[in-house]
Amino acid sequence: MSFEINGKPFSQAPRAGQCLRTFLRELGHFGVKKGCDAGDCGACTVLLDGEPVHSCLIPAFRAEGRAVTTIEGLGGDHGAHPMQQAFLAAQGFQCGFCTAGMILTCASLNQAQRTDLGTALKGNICRCTGYRSIEDALLGKSNVDESVARGAAFGRSLPAPAGPDIVRGKARYTFDTELEGLLHIKLLRSPHAHARIVAIDRSDALRVPGVHAVLTHEDAPTVLISTARHEKDWMDPEDTRILDDVVRFIGQKVAAVVAESEAAAEEACRQLKVDYEILPALIDPEKAMVPGAPVIHPDRTTANRVADAQRNLVAETHGEYGDVAAALATSVATFEGTFHSHRVQHAALETHGGLAWVDDAGVLNVRTSTQVPFLTRRALSDIFQLPMDKVRVFCERVGGGFGGKQEMFVEDVLALAALKTGRPVKLELTREEQFIATSTRHPMRVHIKAGADADGKLTALQLDVLSNTGAYGNHAGPVMFHSLSESIAVYNCPNKRVDGFAVYTNTVPSGAFRGYGLPQTLIAIEAAIDELAKQLGISPYEMRRRNIVRPGDSMLSPPPSEFHDVVYGSYGLDQCLDLVERAMRTEGPQPELSPEWLIGDGVALTMIDSAPPAGHLADAMIALNDDGGFDLTVGTAEFGNGTSTVHRQIAATVLATTVDRIRLRQSDTAHGGHDTGAYGSAGMFVAGKATHAAAVQLATELKAAAASAWLCDAASCALEGEAVVSGVRRMSFVELAMLARERSEPLAAHGDSSGTPRSVGFNVQGFRVAVNKGTGELRILKSVQAADAGVVANPMQCRGQVEGGVAQALGAALYEEMAIDTDGRVINAKFRDYHLPSFADVPRTEVFFADTSDTVGPLGAKSMSESPYNPVAAAIGNAIADATGIRFTAPPFKPDRLFPALLEKFGN
């Protein structure tokens, strides 16, 4: 057989039944990505005789005699293709995992197809960008600042350093590498929601050719852990084992098969015989709390950080300021309602997975897709009782995270298999496994009571939250506590009460998800604010202005927190409200809608702390090189959050140089130092402060070295244009490096950050929607978000984070929903049954930034990757209520959910 790939002939024959995607990757074309293996996401797109196809659906033999073009060969021998250049100029990517497929599809479009991008791009999903920058690439727009002076990088729209490699398919993600002697892991998973494993017969599985090991709970350490990763272990319960003899949800791993091929490992999984003792299962969190209900974790105690295992409570909280009941009794306006949020999948296009091996020095190496390499190393060291210097965890580029990779779902199994077999091993979860066996957003039931006086001042706020943590308590307590914190702390109110319960059920575990509990409670709180405003005849904007906290006000939510380090580093919430209200009043193109369409506006706001409580640590190291450039080492991971760009901007600004002179190393525990991880919006706010501290210290060292050579006072020296200057004297960084080498005194510095004090960021979202009262169809006519990000480090990049957050949140508010049947089984565990927003689904969001400068953040900046998600569903809910006069309380707001109430109110 012969194949032409990127203009070159290949004679290798594919295996029987092999798809084109795996064939191309085995030939080293790693730009062809695996996102779904079902033709739903487009990450594997290649050109076949010039036409875009999903290579995961094409049998490899069908490419014989045809021209295959991957992203690596798109430009041929002429360098970058014009579409690759366009994506680079527009920065039409964030994590970049979808970009190769997206570029190939875009490069194939003719002029007619470009007039309907919704249809043309329906086969390519981007989870990060919100699609605006992708459209900009197709329109030939450039979003980057072309010329930036030395020392002026911060605050400019500079491109991501990995951009050229991303658009050419050269950026390396977790599995874009080759290892000699690699074995493959496949996991047998439980078909039962709750059962005890009585016995596992491995004999037939071990007879499958190519199988090296079958690992069960008998082979794994019995230590209890949490898959959640936090700097402080006490934040999460110890209730999980690598492999357990009790399974508590459908999809929990039962055994790991290690074999020469994935096919052999899968066959061995089918040959395993497991004898289960079926146990009672709890699917409904309300029933899980009823006295006498079956107990899911009967052996867990408060010593395992489980609040009350006999009531299936992993965590609870209660507190009150003032007297809510008395305040409600005397309020002029009151509102009471119950709201429900649902399970949402992170749907990062790169699934969880990794590679592990023990090197010649006896170091366990784990290359993985993670947001928290340092915390994962610490966990593996503890579990397997290995010295920390004998464990290395690292990632290159990560294909999306959104909180889902703040977990340890695969690294422990990888380590176990590598240590048991002594061979390099690979474990890559399928898309179905992502749905049934990782984590989701916490479903919550939120009951709210609220009151206000005649002047529109809040008199009472009461929240009762029931959070379904699923079978294990990863992130259960922190998410519940967070959901009850900034959500009501942003409003001044003398009487507040909260009651929160995080409950075990026999369903897929919940975990960290962008927003971390705030979106779930904001739907209820922001609805209450609107309903009170309506009763009092006050505009929703004015109602919020009369009640929001302002500098000097205490940011309070009961019960009292033990952490008192949150300050107003800057305050722009008032500006955000003004910006959104002004933009929503601006008339744009008016759609032609029939009388069946009802139009309404909605607004919602949110506040978020700029880092998690209890400490979030980061180290950074920077050193001057012989060529006058700098090596910057940070621990934080890059997965589209933009930290790689901003860290270089910070260092270049402090050191009076340009970003191309800053060479970045990151997300590898072998580099030294420590970093808690890129979550909780800490990638810039915490790790960026460490970079800033290191750069400032190095600037001091550079001035001191020059002053020593000149025999002058270092205070008279300054950095300017890649040199130290003092009066008419000038010593370039190259000369300083030479001087340091002669003296055997390297010029280097270290910086760290402890994550305290913390500042607060603000976001306000506005929507105008049209709802068809005859069908329930919803259209978004206008979308506006204003953000207080302090000094915006990179306007282009920050705007992209806002747009991407809005797009992802719209998916959850309007389409996405993990469906679980009465047995606890996920029944829509693939993209085609789970509506991820495509190009046609996402409106263009107008983004505005408040004019503030934060006194706590690096160079005045604040975090802005997580918070744009938070107010979206609440604002959509308020807009629908304004349009229809009906308060819908349970997203997603799909037409079939809206239609019955619309029919009841308006008839046919």
Q: What is the pLDDT of residues 81-102, one digit of tens each?
A: 999 999 999 999 999 999 999 9
How far is the C-alpha of 669 from the C-alpha of 675, rounded, in Å?
9
pLDDT tens per residue, range 412-437: 999 999 999 999 999 999 999 999 99
- In angstroms, the Cα distances linking 143 to 17, 794, 795, 797, 906 are 44, 11, 10, 9, 47
Whether the per-residue pLDDT at 455 is higher than 80: the answer is yes
pLDDT tens per residue, range 504-542: 999 999 999 999 999 999 999 999 999 999 999 999 999
How far is the C-alpha of 463 from the C-alpha of 447, rounded, in Å?
6
Query: Which pLDDT belongs to residue 622?
Result: 98
How far is the C-alpha of 869 from the C-alpha of 808, rounded, in Å?
7
Whether the per-residue pLDDT at 802 is higher than 90: the answer is yes
Amino acid found at 348: A
Q: Are 14 and 40 in contact (CB under 8 A)?
A: no
Residue 899 banded pLDDT, cuts 50, 70, 90: very high
Residue 79 banded pLDDT, cuts 50, 70, 90: confident
Query: Which pLDDT belongs to residue 351?
Result: 98
Q: In the structure encoding, which two tokens stand for residue 693, read together?
A: 């501290």
How far is the C-alpha of 508 from the C-alpha of 435, rounded, in Å?
8
E strand intervals along 177-263: 183-189, 195-201, 211-215, 246-247, 253-259
3-class secondary-structure state, position 601: strand
3-class secondary-structure state, position 540: helix
Whether the per-residue pLDDT at 614 is higher than 90: the answer is no
pLDDT, mean of residues 353-358: 98
* Beta pairing partners, 768: 601, 782
Tokens 């190496």 identify what position?
365
Q: In the chain, pLDDT over 70 holds for what percent of residues?
A: 100
Residue 78 banded pLDDT, cuts 50, 70, 90: confident
Largest CA distance in the chain: 90
How far is the C-alpha of 108 from the C-alpha of 99, rounded, in Å?
14
Whether the per-residue pLDDT at 451 is higher than 80: the answer is yes
Q: Are 370 and 411 in contact (CB under 8 A)?
A: yes
3-class secondary-structure state, position 283: coil
* Mean model confidence pLDDT for the chain: 97
pLDDT, mean of residues 129-155: 97
Query: Which pLDDT belongs to residue 3?
Result: 85
Using a 10 angstrom Cβ sphere, with 0-12 exposed, 13-18 middle and 19 or more buried, the burial of residue 704 is: middle
Q: In the structure encoding, which two tokens stand for residue 518, read together?
A: 């705030």
The secondary structure of the chain in percent helix, strand, coil, rounded to multiples of 5, reads 30, 25, 45
Q: Are 418 and 356 in contact (CB under 8 A)?
A: yes
The DSSP H or E segment spanning 724 is: strand 723-726
pLDDT, mean of residues 601-618: 94
Query: Which pLDDT belongs to residue 725?
Result: 98
pLDDT, mean of residues 773-792: 97
- Cα 497 versus chain centre, distance: 31
How far is the C-alpha of 355 from the C-alpha of 367, rounded, in Å?
5
Q: In the structure encoding, which two tokens stand for residue 611, read together?
A: 């880092």
How far is the C-alpha of 691 from the C-alpha of 684, rounded, in Å?
9
How far is the C-alpha of 822 from the C-alpha of 809, rounded, in Å?
27
CA R_g for the chain: 28
Residue 362 banded pLDDT, cuts 50, 70, 90: very high
Q: In the structure encoding, which two tokens stand for residue 266, read together?
A: 């899968």
The DSSP H or E segment spanning 748 is: strand 748-753
How far is the C-alpha of 569 from the C-alpha of 253, rounded, in Å?
45
How far is the C-alpha of 898 from the C-alpha of 597, rounded, in Å?
13
How far is the C-alpha of 867 from the C-alpha of 761, rounded, in Å?
8
> When comparing pLDDT for 375 and 147, which is higher?
375
Overall pTM surpassing 0.95 (yes/no): yes
How far is the C-alpha of 29 from the C-alpha of 56, rounded, in Å?
14
3-state secondary structure 66-120: CEEECHHHCCHHHCCCHHHHHHHHHCCCCCCCCHHHHHHHHHHCCHHHHCCHHHH
Report strand pairing: 425-428 vs 8-10: unpaired
Amino acid found at 50: G
Query: Which pLDDT belongs to residue 268?
Result: 98
Which residues does 373 contact at the CB level (< 8 Å), separation at least 6? 393, 394, 395, 635, 637, 667, 668, 669, 675, 677
Whether the per-residue pLDDT at 704 is higher than 90: the answer is yes
Query: Which pLDDT belongs to residue 37?
Result: 87
Alpha helices by DSSP H, listed for 297-372, are: 324-329
Using a 10 angstrom Cβ sphere, with 0-12 exposed, 13-18 middle and 19 or more buried, the burial of residue 65 is: exposed
The DSSP H or E segment spanning 750 is: strand 748-753
Whether the per-residue pLDDT at 1 is higher than 80: the answer is no
3-state secondary structure 460-491: EEEEEEEEEEECCCCCHHHHHHHHCCHHHHCE
3-class secondary-structure state, position 450: strand
Query: Which pLDDT belongs to residue 591?
Result: 86
The total of other beta-carbon atoms located within 10 Å of residue 232's CB is 13
pLDDT tens per residue, range 553-581: 999 999 999 999 999 999 999 999 999 99
Which residues does 851 contact at the CB level (< 8 Å), separation at least 6? 572, 575
3-state secondary structure 794-852: CHHHHHHHHHHHHHHHHHHHHCCCCCECCCCCECCCCHHHCCCCCHHHCCCEEEEECCC
